[in-house]
Amino acid sequence: MTETVLLAGSVATQGLCLAAMRAADGLRRPGWVVVAFGAMAVSVLLMARAMALGMPLAVAYGVWSGAGIALGAATGVLVFRDRLRPVHVAGLVLVLGGVLLVHGL
């Protein structure tokens, strides 16, 4: 697998972790807690593998954290019906722009 595919998987499993944390309702729903911990473990393993294959730490962490922020926000809006103000949307657009610049697209 390429570093980019591994990093994309890492971001996706981080998004699953964030959704599971929200669904865990403050650790009151143990099944979702287990999903959250498992997804985060897989996310870290995939990112570590991407770096082992040559992806620089700055790129891996920058994309992972920035894309994770955007994915978490999108999940909140689409799944949990969170509401974002225009200033939040503007911030997310800036984050996504930063992710694209860091990744070199």
Distance CA 47, CA 34 (A): 20
104 has pLDDT over 80: no
Distance CA 65, CA 25 (A): 23
Q: For 1-46, what is each residue's pLDDT tens digit?
A: 799 999 999 999 999 999 999 999 999 999 999 999 999 999 999 9
Q: For 70-84, what is each residue's pLDDT tens digit?
A: 999 999 999 999 999
